[in-house]
């Protein structure tokens, strides 16, 4: 079978677990060479790399905390040093620290902005000199950009709203270079962030399909946006949410 991403080099931030790991697996299965960063999940990162290398895929795990701008830049530089360029940048690293505004810690606020917004901008800025025409920039946003849904999610929702706005602006900046910029907005998905049957039971009635999404379903949308077939899609925020926003 033809693999749509054969010969492409991808960097996925936050790629050791959950949606990030699913994206790494899918891009690799579609033929891409994949570097991915991780912050604390070193065992998972190396297990994922070993799994994919056993299947004949080329992957590179890179330790880099996305809260550290220099570490983000270094991850880009290491990818380029190993593979020569970056064709696909997937900004997936993100954190969620919930809490009501009354006593929300400023340190948590600052870290959320650093990981969920600043790291995205830094990675894009660092990758651009190494990205040729027809490059792809894809960022993991969230349906909370459009519907917070629950108390205590205001700061997280704000960061994901910023991703949607930045995506539209960067699409204008980079369109003349033939680089597309898009965001995917997952709804409730089976990950560490939405772990536990109690949480799933609260979420299922909100879904048009009556179930929680799978990380592989989110990865499928990323793979499509990264493929040549999506060359006319840019500046978009694409929901993969089981009808959560319907």
Catalytic residues: 156
Distance CA 74, CA 59 (A): 17
For residues 79 and 72, the answer to whether their CB atoms sit within 8 Å is no
Distance CA 78, CA 74 (A): 6
Query: Residue 184's Cα: distance from chain center in Å?
Result: 8
Would you tell me the crossing angle of helices 154-174 and 106-113 to the nearest 10 degrees?
Answer: 20
User: Can you tell me whether residue 138 is helix, strand or coil?
Assistant: strand
- The phi and psi torsions of 241 (rounded to 5 degrees) equal -135, 10
Distance CA 185, CA 240 (A): 6
């Amino acid at each position: 079978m033809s693999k749509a991403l054969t010969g492409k080099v991808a960097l996925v931030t936050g790629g050791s677990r959950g949606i990030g790991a699913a994206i790494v697996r899918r891009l690799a299965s579609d033929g891409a060479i994949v570097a991915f960063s991780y912050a604390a999940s070193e065992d998972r990162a190396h297990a994922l790399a070993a799994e994919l290398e056993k299947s004949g895929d080329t992957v590179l795990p890179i330790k880099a905390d996305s809260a550290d701008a220099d570490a983000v830049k270094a991850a880009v530089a290491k990818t380029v040093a190993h593979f020569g360029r970056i064709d696909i940048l997937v900004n997936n690293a993100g954190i969620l620290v919930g809490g009501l505004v009354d006593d929300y810690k400023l340190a948590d606020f600052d870290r959320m902005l650093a990981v969920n917004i600043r790291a995205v901008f830094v990675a894009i800025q660092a990758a651009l000199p190494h990205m040729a025409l027809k490059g792809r920039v894809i960022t993991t946003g969230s349906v909370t950009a459009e519907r917070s849904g629950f108390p205590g999610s205001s700061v997280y929702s704000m960061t994901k709203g910023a991703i949607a706005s930045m995506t539209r602006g960067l699409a204008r900046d980079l369109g003349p270079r033939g680089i597309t910029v898009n965001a995917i907005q997952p709804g409730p998905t089976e990950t560490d962030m939405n772990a536990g049957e109690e949480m799933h039971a609260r979420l299922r009635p909100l879904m048009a399909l009556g179930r929680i999404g799978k990380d592989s379903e989110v990865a499928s949308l990323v793979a499509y946006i990264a493929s040549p077939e999506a060359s006319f899609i840019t500046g978009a925020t694409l929901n993969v949410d089981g009808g959560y926003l319907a």
